[in-house]
Amino acid sequence: MEEKSSQSVKLSSLKPHFLFNALNSVKCEVISDASDKVDLLDDFAAYLRYILRFSENNNVISAKEIVAFLGSYIRLEEARYDQIRIIFEVETLHFQMEALTLFELIYNAIHHGLGGNAPDGKVWVRIQKGKGEVIIEIEDNGKGISKEAYQKAYEEKRSLFQIKESMESRGGSFRIDTKENRGSTIYLVIPDTILC
């Protein structure tokens, strides 16, 4: 029973739907003989390595390692969705956090906030220095979420709320501001206890 549960966690972290679409994007680049096809294959390999390494645990790792992985992941998403852009505004990478938290939040912003290939869809990832803390914002200009859908997601303990519980257990904080048809912003505060 435990083995089955572990396999489920790994499969969920891999995001099977994204996996197959990423492979399709790579295939299209190969068929069109695009010059960046080798880079996309490298990005796909980096994505798989990282997810398989961290999907079964809650390892806290350096932000530099996380952002390097996110670069590969984002290039795959932008190859698949030609109308969206993910914009990083980074002041510091001198902190640590759980390996998959930012990935889950950015994935959520693209696939639920923007609903995929939204015209002029954007996700901003801002990492700022505070006083003895790091503040992270993930903002999208998508459809937002209704109060009813927000409450349902909370009751079902979906991934956003699992992240909230994890952040708070480590002394940090997590907040979502969302308005229907006006996008969403997630705020994380990483406390100085895990700065490096």
Q: What is the pTM of this model?
A: 0.80
Judging by DSSP bridges, how do beta strands 173-178 and 122-129 pair with one another?
unpaired
Count CB-CB contacts under 10 A for residue 166: 15
Count CB-CB contacts under 10 A for residue 188: 22
Domains contained in the chain, CATH given = 2-194 (3.30.565.10)
Query: Mean pLDDT by 10-residue block, N- to C-terminus, for the chain (196 residues)?
Result: 41 60 64 61 86 82 95 90 92 92 91 79 94 94 78 67 85 87 90 64
> What backbone phi and psi angles, to 5 degrees, belong to 145?
-145, 140
Burial 29-46 (b: 16+ CB within 10 A, else e): beeeeeeebeebeebbeb
- Predicted local confidence at residue 1, as pLDDT: 39
- Predicted local confidence at residue 6, as pLDDT: 39
Stated as kind and residue range, the H or E segment containing 33 is: none
- Predicted local confidence at residue 117, as pLDDT: 67
Residue type, 83: Q
- Predicted local confidence at residue 8, as pLDDT: 41
